[in-house]
Structure 1
Amino acid sequence: MLCEENDGDDKVVDDGVIPKSVSEPNFTSAQFFDVDVNNLQQADSETGELSSQLSASELRRKSCAEQENGTFMARQKRLEFEATMLFMKAKETARMQMEVERQARQKNSLIDNLIGFPISCQKKLSRSQLTAMSTTRLQIILNDIHSKINALNEELVQLLMQRDSLHMEQDSMLVDIADFLQ
């Protein structure tokens, strides 16, 4: 795969590093050629456990090795499997990221310091708690709630725009794949 021509220089130019792309980290040639396509095919036929533990770059490398040795149907199966695995991983990652961000928002509430006790942990304040507070504290809570609503609305708009652009990108990829299959 990786060939270099030695023009008689005494230095060895190849240090075993494949050029880095934007989406993949650098891999040494030893790591690149240790990929065993048969192991991946066995995992596909059995439980898929090996493939579910692979990163996108490893799947892509295995796909490249298979393209040299395999048939069109094998490549199609590999692409479908890779897309499925990436979608599953993306869904899990997004869910975990949303949970982390939600917890971070709750922890970093400045309103808790102004009022004197944490209200971000509570979903509701009792009537007795609200009547015991001064008008100033109630106004602070109201302003904080309004600012949180505005921030969440802005975040929602950004996420919806991002989702729409990702859907459009996915649709264009599906059209490209359909064109490729025909």
Structure 2
Amino acid sequence: MSSRMMLTKFSENEKKISSETSAFNVALEGEANYAAKIGVIISMFALIEDYAPFLLQLFTGMSKEDSRSVMGVFRAFSNRIDLLKAVYKPKGSNSVDSIIGTHYVGLLNEANKIRNKYAHAQYATTRKSIVLTPFSSDYNRTTERVEQTLADFDKDINRMRRIICELHALVYRMEIPASVHKRLQKQGL
């Protein structure tokens, strides 16, 4: 069907569209507690995202300005993570950079996964929970439905909180968690 033929089948009805617009809402509009938790997760991810240039600076020794400029070239967070991996991997799996990089890039990946679960989901509600369909518009994935309570959201929020604190400790105090310290000691570093 040509676009010219299709246009002849359309009719204008601004009044109906406007009426539907004012009545339209989504599941989260009626669920303030869930919506607030999703907002917290998204805002925590924004904090986590901001640590990527600091990690690049740590692994390369480049200036803060240069690391921010380099990271700014990559729009997708996953590409920024790939850049960090590319910097520390050639140093060998038992190097300090690789041990530390593997841990912190793992945290960035985990945070990205948590954030994407909520940011790219469609939502529905039940009486006791909310149902997420993560990545609902990614047609290359199998559709899944995840039922979550407020406690499930709190687990993800607490995990994001831990990730932020580990990143902050590394970047601002050069402190690492015990698990990373043990791995470094095991390698004699």
Common fold, TM-score beyond 0.5? no
TM-score normalised by the chain length of structure 1? 0.31
Rg bigger for which structure?
Answer: 1
In terms of fraction of residues, the more strand-rich structure is 2
> Which protein has greater RCO, CA pairs closer than 8 Å, 6+ apart?
2
